[in-house]
Structure 1
């Protein structure tokens, strides 16, 4: 892709983000022109483009229903493949790179305040006790989806165990997202609004849990 084409694509993307209708039109055009490649890339790049996997699966499902240019079963399978590639890549990045990699990755002074060795040890203990459930539910939790496989690798969670839970989670996610797009894609704006509300609710719940944990620990110290 030339620089000119990439610039035009970014311009179209910025315009598409202004409304759900324009976003659907943008994704539909990409899917029509490039087919399943967009489904794969959207799912595979979910770690750096939050919710891109959800969006391409929903749009792909709707396109399969409305035009028949692509088929739902292939949207589900190729989206699942992209997600699996993404998660395994992030897992091995954490597993091989280790804490030294994370320290290089998060060099800002602000992030170092929240990512200290003791925090990483807690992550490791958490995955030892609850790794399977975390991998399963992390796939459906905004923000955790990208951090979950990296954290699993950092904590040295056994890869076969990680892969088993990850593939189960990805299968459920791909089938549900593709099917929702296929069956209810005509209510695109409602779906996007619901996803945004869900993301905000999860973020608020996570923030509340962190505050509650901090208060609890402070009371214990006293």
Structure 2
């Protein structure tokens, strides 16, 4: 069946949105899945643009809503499995070797993080699929820690389906106002970045303070 073209007055023509629109119009559901798989591997490609645009395309008849959800979720899982495989190939030994060369960190920090992931990894993978930025990153430690692949795929599928459904349906219902989704999710992404920056700054501050105290004790 031939795909119905997006309305010319509403179709984005440039940037990521234009690229994604071309993929969806040319390939339909598989095009949307390919875009989301690439978004997982290259986080600068924003899902908050691709997913609402796919929902808008479904509303315009370029593909069905079921197809939009199926292919975007499949794309999320494929991209996540690639990152999981990268983490698995990289392995714990290389991770520890690199960690040991980093300034202001201790081996115990990494070991503590690993223990936390072993205990809470399933929650991290499931919920992480719904958090901007961490959607992609969470797959790597899952591979490093060798989380059972069937468990990883199941959690990734469920978490991705929820996240994708929210944004695809938002684009579907908003119609030619689909781009407004990007603004709201963009605020959430910036909030996550701020929290990460604050946590990193606090961590570095604590480490520097501890190092200065240790040096002061040695020279006293």
TM-score (norm 2): 0.74
1:132 matched to 2:122: yes
Equivalent runs, 1:1-222 vs 2, <5 Å: 16-17=14-15, 24-45=17-38, 46-65=40-59, 67-99=60-92, 112-113=102-103, 120-215=110-205
- CA distance in 1 between counterparts of 2:106 and 2:75 reads 32
Change in Cα spacing, 1:170 to 1:114, as seen in structure 2 (3 Å) is farther
Q: Distance in 1 between matches of 2:25 and 2:106?
A: 46
What is the distance in 2 between the residues matched to 1:47 and 1:78?
A: 16
Paired with 1:82 and 1:142, the residues of 2 have a C-alpha distance of 16
User: How far off is 1:133 after superposition?
Assistant: 1.7
Structure label with greater radius of gyration: 2
Q: In the TM superposition, what is the alpha-carbon distance from 1:164 to its structure 2 partner?
A: 2.8
**Is the CA contact (8 Å cut-off) linking 1:43 and 1:54 kept in structure 2?**
no
Q: Deviations over 1:37-73 (max 9, x none)?
A: 32111111122143444432211110111x2121111
CA distance in 2, matches of 1:115, 1:52: 31
Which whole-Å deviations, capped at 9, do the CAs of 1:198-222 have from their partners, x for residues lacking one?
1111100122223334445667786
- The alignment's C-alpha RMSD in Å is 3.2
Give me the whole-angstrom Cα distance separating, in 2, the residues matched to 1:216 and 1:103.
Answer: 21
Identify the structure with the greater helix proportion: 1
Q: Mind listing any 5+ residue stretches in structure 1 that lack a counterpart?
A: 1-12, 18-22
- Segments of 5+ residues of structure 2 without an aligned counterpart are 1-11, 214-220
**In 1, distance between residues paired with 2:34 and 2:104?**
31
Q: TM-score scaled by structure 1?
A: 0.74
